[in-house]
Chains A and B, each alone.
Chain A
């Protein structure tokens, strides 16, 4: 980067309160057909951790990208240290000390931590002496904030939690004064979260201001000083988290605009039932031939919700694929309702009564370009009543679509491509299709990830209802709260093995967290 550093353009209006490092007034941003931010007001004090809370689609990400210079607002002004400042590009934001750490990290996997940290800076070429100095500095900073990371490791070798630390250190190295973290805990284990929170508090106490974007209420009470709530693109309130009368319930109401209670299973089932799904010593490899699922044995009973949890990347996805026939097993058997599934044959799994809601909703479970109608018959169009002699019976399919759209309350027209639906509505289409196939087993991979509270509740209710018709539900989820609230029994995966299966009543987030990291079994 050879150009001179860009100075943020400043004008002379000065606000009264000088502890405000950042103030945004009336930020408005629209995309074709969507008003993502509607006159958002926001204040950030020096050294505070300020939560930006809102459901999916409430405009949190848009607002943070505006602050980071990635989006130009249609209207509104950003004041930095009291000066109205235009942020027409990320470089202007960097110059003003603002760094955004997005959900999908912007690190180059084939470079080392050090190389990533200096990437794009003038000292991008490394002499050995400079390298030593740099490594020392990174080690010192990371140690100070409890964000340990090996400076010479390649990024592809790092866990998601470690990558996030690299991002934070990268921002600190660029003298960040304002750090924006977009849903930072989605990829972390409970223990990693604790470490992150401690690091953030330390940073804040030394004067860095942090915007913490989340829709998880407990986190906000755990780390944040203040919270600003966004709803449908508007900033509806700002409050102190330790103010009297502040509790998660109250915040949730403000976030959603009405009361919502998530469905939970009050009394977990404990009686022994017939096995809907039985896995015996299932072993399989990933694309590179490494064994990622090893001798997994457990069963899911009829009418039970069995939770399979673990830090993402410990073999859950591969196991699900091996069950569904999308990945070949190198050993082991899978029985659905007593019937042995052929290896590597998705059609046999479907025929045997395995419904599967894959983790990758759009792209595996649904075809984004195709309409709701086509997606609803993705597995069933090949025989009567939906087709005859190879010709599609459009009338039968149309009737089915109309029925499912109304039964499952999907906000979309039959011809709408599912790629244009919200995450919640796409998931409804997927669940509608899978549940109408009258399955014996419903396997769902992180079915509520990325969904807002209302949509999450819809999915949860469907899972609970499924058990009432004696379906065995295998819920694969990293969300411990969800697992603890919904499941009858919980299995934990670590490095490709199920390290333990516990009854819900005997499990806590902490004990599961320890199992997830391989510390306890």
Chain B
């Protein structure tokens, strides 16, 4: 019988060795998959690495893709840290993209940096407003923020689709040649495209720099400020937070605003650096909001680690996107991406837990066949004794 035991201590060597090992295992599995599919693993790896890391253009693409993933990852990390499961990053990103593109179109003719700042602020506000809906409902009516924020993703998705596909809205391009053939978003002015200064052949997008700043700010907020302490107290025990005189409702709303603003900025970065217009179809296809949740979980909801895992996810996505072609089915790309992710996530689990192989005590006797309530309860209790600190704090904070 195999059991997982939480490790009491985790050595640095293990923390470094496990991710490397996970990637090796992943590539071993992928090699088998590719060989079975009659695709040359060697050329596939070469193009993957070149498309994501080694070529300047590839690295630039990785950064562009990673930016919204990091920002939505921070969005998830901020809320999850307090036990508020905001999985509405996707919808908050849509609303951010809508606001950013709208502001950019409206400010046509203004200096570029003014438009860019306005885009960022507008997107942050739009994301915050959208996250306030589940936040307020949660704080005052104890509704389930997971369901509400998830449903609002669809609402936001249909809303921006409506703006482009089903209406003659301000965002829709009705004049250009392409726009008359197929519904597309109006292109934002060229001077509002987010710059990506070249460093050593690769472009570092403005959005990534902003994401780095926000990562550091989030880390400081969580570790060094009273707000961070309030979040940690509430995550640990809502009862204790109330006991200590904290206004839990207000805290939920503040955290949701911050969380939504981060996802909104992800939408602005996407418009400014990649699509340069409101592009509902494109946004819905890449699903950066959900990728952000994966990045956040992978980075154990620590902002700095979320940044790193966001870069990894960006690289995987960028590497996958170049493979698609006549000889390489789209499904295989997804398979490769998810094998890598699966291995890394399992590996991350192994850093904190240890596999223990327990032999059955005696042949013929089945010590695990407890049907009695006492037995099961006590066994569970025993397991808890042996795994101090389990489960990891994942308490859901119920409002005020």
Q: Using a CB–CB distance below 8 Å, which chain A residues touch chain B?
A: 1, 3, 6, 9, 31-33, 65, 68, 70-72, 86, 88-91, 94, 100, 102, 106-108, 119-120, 324, 326, 346-347, 349-350, 356, 358, 360, 363-370, 374, 377-379, 381-382, 387, 390-392, 394, 417, 419-420
Contacts and interface: CB of A to CB of B under 8 A. Distances in A.
A326 B393 CA distance: 23
Interface in B219-276: 224-229, 232-233, 235-237, 239-240, 242-245, 247
B166 interface: no
Interface stretch (B19-27, B296-304, B360-368): B360-368
Contact of B232 (A346, A365, A370): A370
Contact of A367 (B228, B236, B247): B236
B365 A374 contact: no
A346 B324 CA distance: 60
B375 A356 contact: no
B327 interface: no
A390 B226 contact: yes
Nearest to B236: A367
B388 A420 contact: yes
A512 B371 CA distance: 43
B55 interface: no
A347 B245 contact: yes
Interface of B: 8, 224-229, 232-233, 235-237, 239-240, 242-245, 247, 361-362, 365, 367, 369-375, 377-379, 382, 385-386, 388-389, 393
B373 A364 contact: no
Contact of A89 (B233, B375, B393): B375
A90 B245 contact: no
Which has the most chain A C-beta neighbours within 10 Å: B226, B239, B245, B361?
B245
Contact of B245 (A31, A108, A350, A392): A350
Nearest to A419: B389
B236 A370 contact: yes
Contact of A387 (B226, B239, B386, B389): B226
Nearest to A346: B245
Contacts of A31: 385-386
A391 B374 contact: no
17 contacts: A32-B388, A33-B8, A65-B378, A65-B382, A88-B365, A102-B378, A106-B374, A107-B373, A108-B373, A324-B243, A326-B243, A350-B244, A367-B232, A369-B236, A370-B233, A381-B229, A392-B224
A102 B377 CA distance: 11
Q: Is the interface of B mostly helix, strand, loop or mixed?
A: helix
Contact of A119 (B373, B377, B386): B373
B237 A363 contact: yes
Given A120-B372, A378-B244, A364 B226 contact: no
A32 B375 CA distance: 22
A444 to B, nearest CB: 14
Given A89-B365, A420-B388, 10 more contacts: A32-B8, A68-B378, A70-B378, A88-B361, A350-B245, A363-B240, A366-B240, A367-B237, A370-B233, A391-B226
A65 B386 CA distance: 15
A279 to B, nearest CB: 20
A349 B236 CA distance: 22
Nearest to A378: B244
B360 to A, nearest CB: 10
Query: Which 5 residue pairs of A and B lie closest in terms of their CB atoms, listed nearest first?
Result: A347-B245, A367-B236, A90-B375, A70-B378, A106-B374
Nearest to A2: B371
A365 B378 contact: no
A253 B74 CA distance: 58
Given A379-B245, A381-B226, A381-B229, A360 B239 contact: yes
Nearest to B381: A70
Contacts of B367: 88-89
Contacts of B378: 65, 68, 70, 90, 102, 106
A358 B226 contact: no
B57 to A, nearest CB: 42
Contact of B240 (A106, A108, A378): A378
B224 to A, nearest CB: 6
B342 to A, nearest CB: 29
